[in-house]
Chains A and B, each alone.
Chain A
Amino acid sequence: MRRYRWLAAIPTLGMLGGVPFANRVHPYVLGLPFLLAWIVVWVVITSLVMALIYLLDSKRDAELASTAATSPDDSRSS
């Protein structure tokens, strides 16, 4: 099971779901009007979340590879 892959939906939901509420100029964040800052922060979160999934997937693949080495049939499914 790779349930953690659902994490990938968070940035999309956060970024777009928040647009109606983040649609304002104030407060400024790092010199950016709020709406733009909101989007930029979520783009950065997208990268972070995908990095996390990548790490978890790599770990899982390594585990599966070591199980496959002990048992003869290749059970490499997601």
Chain B
Amino acid sequence: MTPALAVIIGVFVLAIALGLMARRGHVMSLEQWSVGGRGFGSVFVFLLMAGEIYTTFTFLGGSGWAYGKGAPAFYILCYGAIAYSVSYFLLPIVWRYAQTRRLVSQADFFVAKYESKTLGVVVALVSVAALVPYLVLQLKGLGIIVSEASGGVITQAVAVWTSSIALVGYVVVSGVRGSAWTSALKDVMILAAAVGIGVYLPLHYFGGYRAMFEAVEAAKPGALTLPASGMSPAWFISTVLLTATGFYMWPQFFAGVYTARSENVFRKNAVILPLYQLVVLFVFFTGFAAMLVVPGLKGAAADLSLLRIVEQSFGSWTVGAIGAAGLLTALVPGSMILITAGTIISQNIYRVMAPAASDRTVSLVARSLVPVLTLVAVILTLRGGQTLVVLLLMGYNFVTQLFPALILSLGERQRVSAASAIAGIVAGELTVVFLTVTSASVATLLPGAPQMVKDLNVGFVALAVNAVVLTVVALATRVETPVVTELERTR
């Protein structure tokens, strides 16, 4: 056994042990399993939120984008900062409402606000459709990282199967407490790994950061700026805004908000998280260094750039540590996705179909769904497919469609009907599917438009269709509003 393999297996066992032990002293009701009994303080909520930032996407995709595309990768650094500043105002409102109504899922929020279980089912279906690809993305990354770091001793299939089984184990046993505990281990490792290699590689190969960037600019002129067309400033700004819009629409993120003990937690986090996110900068450094040191990786293989340069530059122990950190960047978000998907299906779909079901049964259904969902994801993972980023963008566009209906529900009184929210979301999702299947862009949709318009992120088209349909139906179904208001008043 190589040292790399030993480190990976050691960290893996430690993570699973932490995940399993996290349950101690807690009876696992659905509320405990899904949202930790709403008792998490600043540190745990921070770990969960930060746990979501450093997924395999940031690790492999971030370096892969810097490697393959250059400056367009910088968008990853921008959207988080914007989403966090919005979170300062958004999350306390969501938390307060969820707290008083004891909500456990994001779909619950829509059900309560719009007084519509049908809307809950729609939101639940959207969530699952976005979460499964996201889980596949994590497992794909996990397979790549472990098999690369082990020097091919562990195949991708073996890595994915083994991790998935362990993941199911600790998710079923400990729920979101397991995610929080493994997240602590993960954050320590990823900070050390990402910052360590990001600081070291430019100094080692180029003697400094500026020297590295100058070498990049000389080898690939234009790599450090946005091109005039394609991934232009217009593309950049629209993509950052769209991604920031969708950020908190992810159901596992939204439910993570419910775990907090007090709303002040989010305000503190909004101050710290933008700075914490700067770790991504070091991931970029690694990607740029790899551009010159291990050139020639094309397309999807660009995601391997980080691992290739690490293998070439360090001894087996370090490779193992990076591999282990990468493994954890898949496990933690993976566990949160599974908990969220299980909760949503049992709470917002199963309970609607079987209204007589007891809380105990619903909780049992939620946990029984974990192995089923994992199996689906494993099969999808091993059958191959697109590169990491494309998969994520599709899921991202799915959840972003929840944004208009959510924002309109934040006021004290409900102003638009459930029917309009459903119509908007369905129209938006159909547009996302259409755009993805036809691989449309604004340029193909509007060939006569100025270049700046052509470069806008096509996701905005779906969001616009959503907003228009929502508005039209809201105006047409306005008659219902007084009735709803009446009901509100009699309470």
Contacts and interface: CB of A to CB of B under 8 A. Distances in A.
Interface of A: 5, 8, 11-12, 15-16, 19-20, 23-25, 28, 30-33, 35-36, 39-40, 42-44, 46-47, 49-51, 53-54, 57
A77 to B, nearest CB: 11
A78 to B, nearest CB: 9
Contacts of B236: 19
Contact of A49 (B85, B225, B268): B85
15 contacts: A5-B89, A11-B85, A16-B78, A19-B237, A23-B226, A30-B209, A35-B225, A36-B74, A36-B284, A40-B278, A44-B275, A47-B271, A53-B88, A54-B88, A54-B268
A15 B81 CA distance: 10
Given A16-B240, A57-B267, A35 B78 contact: no
Contact of B274 (A19, A47, A54): A47
Given A8-B85, A31-B210, A36-B71, A47 B275 contact: yes
A52 to B, nearest CB: 9
A35 B213 CA distance: 12
B46 to A, nearest CB: 14
B225 A39 contact: no
Contacts of B240: 16
Contacts, number: 99
Contacts of B89: 5, 8
A50 B268 CA distance: 9
Nearest to B66: A36
B225 A40 contact: no
What are the 4 closest A-B residue pairs judged by CB atoms, nearest first? Answer: A31-B209, A31-B210, A33-B224, A20-B233
Contact of A40 (B77, B88, B208): B77
Q: What is the predominant secondary structure among interface residues of chain B facing chain A?
A: helix
B274 A43 contact: yes
B272 A47 contact: yes
Contacts of B277: 43
Interface in B160-203: none
Given A23-B233, A35-B71, A35-B226, A43 B81 contact: yes
B258 interface: no
A25 B217 contact: yes
Contact of A19 (B85, B208, B226, B270): B226
Contacts of A50: 84-85, 88, 270-271, 274
B82 interface: yes
Nearest to B73: A36
B241 interface: yes
Contacts of B442: none
Nearest to B226: A23
A12 B271 contact: no
Contact of B213 (A32, A40, A42): A32
Contacts of B210: 28, 31-32
Interface string B66-107: 000001001001100110111011000000000000000000
A8 B85 CA distance: 6
B74 A39 contact: yes
A2 to B, nearest CB: 10
A54 B271 contact: yes
